Amino acid sequence: LQSYYPRSLFEGLADLPGFGRDVQVWLAFRDQQPISGLVLLRWRDVAIAWHYSTRPDQLATGANPFLLVNAIRDACDDGLRWFDFLPSGSLDGVAAFKSGFAAERRGYHMYWTTGMTPATDRADAGPGAAPRVIAELGLGPSHKEDGA
């Protein structure tokens, strides 16, 4: 499975004391090979689908929705109150996918730093590259709908 993030980040997550409880890795296999993965973070009563990936040749298997459904069920069984898919940005297809889980749009506040987006980490990044989001906070309906 591929990711923009370096392998060392995932190895670091595996070394955390909460790995297996607060940091979970869900994998789907076909013919004993991983075809889809989900990194799920938990904090208090929130499960966060932080990062997921499916091999392009395996998209039709439905492995990603299968992992998400099971992660949601597991979170519910553990008494968690929220399942956060995180923002979709301007990706309408991603937003439509999430709505298939009866996801509800919620506003959030964003905090930024400069010089650390995927674009600015590449050699082809220009001086006008956008800053990286370093925190997204707020799940309550009282927050302004400035993102989803």
Q: Is the dihedral of CA 41, 47, 49, 50 positive or negative?
A: negative
Tens of pLDDT, residues 12-63: 988 988 888 899 999 999 998 999 999 999 999 999 999 988 999 999 999 9
**Calpha distance 47→39 (Å, rounded):** 10
pLDDT in tens, 90-111: 788 888 888 888 888 887 777 6
Q: What is the torsion angle, in degrees rounded to the nearest 10, for the CA atoms of residue 45, residue 50, residue 35 and residue 31?
A: -30
The two tokens of residue 28 are 């789907």
CA 56 – CA 51 distance, rounded (Å): 16
- DSSP-derived letter for residue 105 is -
- Give the pLDDT confidence of 103-148 residue by residue, as tens digits: 888 877 776 666 555 444 444 444 443 333 333 333 333 333 344 4
